[in-house]
Chain A
Amino acid sequence: MISETVKEEKKLKFGLFLGCNISFNRPDVEQAMRKIFPALGVEIDDLVGQSCCPTWGTVPSIDIVGWCAVAARNLALGEEKGIDLMTACNSCYGSLNEARHKMLKNPEIMSKVNEILAKIGKKYEGKAKCRHVAWVLYKDVGLEKIKESIKYSLDGITVAVQPGCHFLWPSEVYPDKEKDPFNPKVLRELCEALGAEAPYYTKLIDCCGMGALRSTDPEKSFILVREKLECIKEEIDADLIVTTCSSCLIQLDDAQEKLRKEGKINFSIPVLHYVQLLAICMGFDPQQVAGICVTPRDEVIKMILEGGKR
């Protein structure tokens, strides 16, 4: 890469797009973001008045213009302020960017959307986009800054990463792209920056089974999460699963407990969102930034605070 000349200290600012799951189910993820970003020099805007992205089972299943209109209202909240959105939920990331891609590709959709937005005195020009927190940390904040900012490191700890489908595909619609979406490296490198080992495992890019699949047929959904967990256990015997998606977080954490109860698995691997893990490493209160879970996390958090495994 060409080295950049004197990096100007540009103030980073993003609209924090929460989404339903983080707002109500996993607010500890929200709290983690509210802690780490200011500490890393990233300003957060609350994006007051934001709504559901809209998630896949709602307007996207009814019609495309409606989907885009709801998404455009959210995106416009950032556009009005001249900032991009930032999310820690892959579903939001996918829905907002797919919608934006459709509007940019098809002027007809864009103009229909703006006709609707006009009724509430808003407009969307396609400028503001939704960034993923993982990419903001990786690209805008940078691995060096992350390394400098942590108090605790993950020495000797093995993590299994779960970037999640909407972090990768369809690569065409996303503002940031993995070099090889079938062998994603960003989350692995982010974890390595914290001192962890984040090895490859065979089912790294496989779907966790969350979302529509889980609501339509939980039993079938559990087949996938079980396959994934077993692969993690067998191939890399991870101490911890780290994801950058709130949906994957819920599925891996929650379904794991159900599988244990049904006697389908006999192990337990704690699950954290990456922003939670980073917040812990930066020294924030685990109760606030990682206080909600089904599969117990205490041991691994203790391990981290005691300086890793070694």
Chain B
Amino acid sequence: MEITEGVPPVINLTEVAEREKEEFEKKVSELIIEFGAENLLACMQCGACASICPLARVGFEWYNKKLIKAILIGMKEELLDDPTPWACVACNRCTEICPRQVAPFEVMFAMRRLMVEEFAIPTLAIEGLRSLYEHGHAVYMTGREARKKVGLPENPPSTDSDEKALQDLRTILKNTKLAELGLIPME
């Protein structure tokens, strides 16, 4: 994915706000709060979270603090194609230190959820979901040499060797938003 070209050199706050009002039922900030970042509005942009965020460190553009600010002024469209939220390692060091208990990690993940709603979801994530649905494992390997090599039975005692459990898991997934969105085929 390309880093977004979505944000112009001068941000037109009026346009951003009007679009927010006209095009969506809810404000971006309201959606993000609904998707799990309950304390979003408490952010005072101190930057502590960015100072230790691995993403900021390696040059992603919309790391925690900046993403929060963009959301607070009502940006959305401009951010949808950005890969940064999908790179969040969920390390939660930011959550640990945020002086306002914003839990910036939750904002990153709420943004993922918002992107998913807009079908701006990276292929890799789709792959993982499909694998989870099919095998009960997001990371799955058909080759079992490794297990054999270390003297373990070919199949771990998971959904991989328990058909009933796999069906249970599928039932669960079919009753979640994943199914509502129809992101992956579910029989």
Q: Do A and B share a direct contact in the complex (Cβ within 8 angstroms)?
A: yes
Residues in chain B near residue A47, CB distance under 8 A: 157
Cβ B151 vs Cβ A288 within 8 A: yes
Residues in chain A near residue B36, CB distance under 8 A: 64
Residues in chain A near residue B175, CB distance under 8 A: 69, 116, 119
Query: What residue in chain A is nearest B124 (Cβ atoms)?
Result: A215
Chain A 20-53 residues near chain B, CB threshold 8 A: 20-21, 23-28, 30-31, 34, 46-52
Query: How far apart are the CA atoms of A30 and B144 in the complex, in Å?
Result: 14
> Chain A: interface residue count, which band?
35 or more
Residues in chain B near residue A20, CB distance under 8 A: 137-140
Query: What residue in chain B is nearest A72 (Cβ atoms)?
Result: B172
Partner of B92, one of A119, A165, A215: A165
Chain A 40-75 residues near chain B, CB threshold 8 A: 46-52, 54-66, 69-70, 73
B87 within 8 A of A: yes
Query: What residue in chain B is nearest A165 (Cβ atoms)?
Result: B91
Query: What residue in chain A is nearest B146 (Cβ atoms)?
Result: A27
Query: How far apart are the CA atoms of A51 and B171 in the complex, in Å?
Result: 13
Cβ B149 vs Cβ A292 within 8 A: yes
Which stretch in A185-193, A218-226, A259-267 binds the other chain?
Answer: A218-226
Residues in chain A near residue B121, CB distance under 8 A: 61
Q: How many A-B residue pairs have CB under 8 A?
A: 223
Which stretch in B5-13, B50-58, B67-75 binds the other chain?
Answer: B50-58
Residues in chain A near residue B93, CB distance under 8 A: 165, 168-169, 205, 207
Cβ B54 vs Cβ A62 within 8 A: no
Cβ A169 vs Cβ B158 within 8 A: no
Chain B 60-82 residues near chain A, CB threshold 8 A: 60
Residues in chain A near residue B55, CB distance under 8 A: 213
Residues in chain B near residue A52, CB distance under 8 A: 132, 136-139
Cβ B92 vs Cβ A169 within 8 A: yes
B17 within 8 A of A: no
A6 within 8 A of B: no
Query: What residue in chain B is nearest A222 (Cβ atoms)?
Result: B58
Partner of B95, one of A54, A56, A69, A169: A169
Cβ B158 vs Cβ A49 within 8 A: yes
Cβ A24 vs Cβ B139 within 8 A: yes
Given known pairs A49-B162, A50-B158, A66-B178, the reply for A55 and B150 (CB within 8 Å) is no
> Chain B: interface residue count, which band?
35 or more
B141 within 8 A of A: yes
Chain A 154-194 residues near chain B, CB threshold 8 A: 165-166, 168-172, 181
Residues in chain B near residue A4, CB distance under 8 A: none
Cβ B183 vs Cβ A31 within 8 A: no
Query: How far apart are the CA atoms of A48 and B158 in the complex, in Å?
Result: 6
Residues in chain B near residue A270, CB distance under 8 A: none
Query: How far apart are the CA atoms of A122 and B87 in the complex, in Å?
Result: 34
Q: How far is the CB of B105 from chain A (nearest CB, A)?
A: 8
Cβ B168 vs Cβ A28 within 8 A: no
Given known pairs A94-B92, A216-B87, the reply for A25 and B146 (CB within 8 Å) is yes
Query: How far apart are the CA atoms of A170 and B39 in the complex, in Å?
Result: 15
Cβ A49 vs Cβ B141 within 8 A: no
Cβ B156 vs Cβ A59 within 8 A: no
Cβ B172 vs Cβ A117 within 8 A: yes
B14 within 8 A of A: no
Residues in chain A near residue B31, CB distance under 8 A: none
Query: How far apart are the CA atoms of A302 and B123 in the complex, in Å?
Result: 43
Query: What residue in chain A is nearest B164 (Cβ atoms)?
Result: A49
A88 within 8 A of B: no
Given known pairs A50-B157, A60-B109, A65-B176, the reply for A292 and B150 (CB within 8 Å) is yes
Cβ A166 vs Cβ B91 within 8 A: yes
Cβ A213 vs Cβ B87 within 8 A: yes
Chain B 139-174 residues near chain A, CB threshold 8 A: 139-141, 146-147, 149-152, 156-162, 164-166, 168-169, 171-173
Partner of A58, one of B57, B132, B164, B181: B132
Query: How far apart are the CA atoms of A305 and B113 in the complex, in Å?
Result: 50
Cβ A30 vs Cβ B156 within 8 A: yes
Chain B CB within 10 Å, residue with most, of A25, A181, A205, A217: A217
Query: What residue in chain B is nearest A20 (Cβ atoms)?
Result: B139
Would you mind naming 11 contact pairs between A and B with Cβ atoms under 8 Å apart? A23-B158, A27-B149, A27-B152, A51-B169, A62-B129, A62-B178, A63-B113, A165-B90, A169-B92, A207-B93, A217-B60
18 new A-B contacts, CB < 8 A, other than A51-B158, A289-B150, A292-B150, are A23-B160, A24-B140, A24-B156, A27-B146, A48-B161, A49-B159, A49-B168, A51-B132, A59-B129, A59-B132, A59-B178, A63-B177, A64-B36, A119-B172, A169-B92, A211-B90, A212-B87, A291-B149
